[in-house]
Amino acid sequence: MNNENPPGLLTGHSLVSCIGDLSLQDHDDLTDSTQIATRSADMVYSRFLDSTEWLDEYVSTLHFLGWSVFQDAIVTRKRSGLSRSVADFLVQSAQAMPDTRQGNAMIDTLDALKYNEPALFSLDEQSLMGQRFQAIPARYDEKGVLTIAVFNLELVAYTKKSSFLFWDWEGHAAAIIQQRAYLKLDKKKLESNRAIIERKVREIKMKKFDLRKNKQ
């Protein structure tokens, strides 16, 4: 049995990739926070019809739980054409971040997801085959603070494909619309909300899939 935390995970419509090993507590806190924020936003907005308002509520919930927003809060909507697959787009976006290791972490996470059929089916179902989904690169900064980027994404295409992340969209006039936000974990604030987090998590029935690097 592997007791180490996986470098990536999928929960709901959110794909998380991590540089290195997060501590067990940080791994659980990130997962719990993501699930709570998703449920909170889903209760007041449709992620498919009201994406901007949904993301505002999602980030507000994370902030309440103990994640401080930085780098100008939420970056406005940006549209990018797809020349290959969504997976390639996610890797390129991660590689463009200040810590270039996040590109390799995203590759490992996507490689593990590609061969996990239950996780792929769940992502298709939760995202309506890419209509709304999230990618969340996570890492410790130079001070050891856990930081995340939340990429809120929409696949715009005339057709729907299962395993949409890995479909080659060249020639299909497909595009990605994205918004993003950057957050840092304030452990003292989160710890003060520990009882609330534990209670909320018990109320949530959201699947989680650990994604480990494919060693084949």
- The CA distance from 96 to 90, in Å, is 10
Q: How does residue 114 score in pLDDT terms, banded at 50, 70 and 90?
A: very high
Q: Is the pLDDT of residue 84 over 70?
A: yes
pLDDT at 36 over 60: yes
Question: In the beta sheet, which residues pair with residue 181?
Answer: 74, 150
Distance in angstroms (rounded) separating the CA atoms of residues 164 and 102? 22
Task: Take residue 46 and report the two structure tokens written for it.
Answer: 């449709």
Average pLDDT, the chain: 90
Given a cut of 80, whether residue 55 has pLDDT beyond it is yes
Query: Are 40 and 58 within 8 A, CB to CB?
Result: yes
pLDDT of residue 173: 87
Are the C-beta atoms of residues 106 and 138 closer than 8 Å to each other? no
- Per-residue pLDDT of 140-186, as tens digits, reads 999 999 999 999 999 999 989 999 999 999 888 899 999 989 999 99
End-to-end CA distance of the chain: 18
Residue 2 has pLDDT above 70, yes or no: no
Name which of 150, 127, 139 is nearest 74 in CA terms.
150
Tens of pLDDT, residues 88-110: 999 988 888 777 788 888 999 99
Question: Which residues, 6 or more positions from 113, have their beta carbon under 8 angstroms from its beta carbon?
Answer: 8, 10, 15, 119, 120, 123, 165, 211
Cβ(161)–Cβ(128) below 8 Å: no
Residue 191: pLDDT over 80:
yes
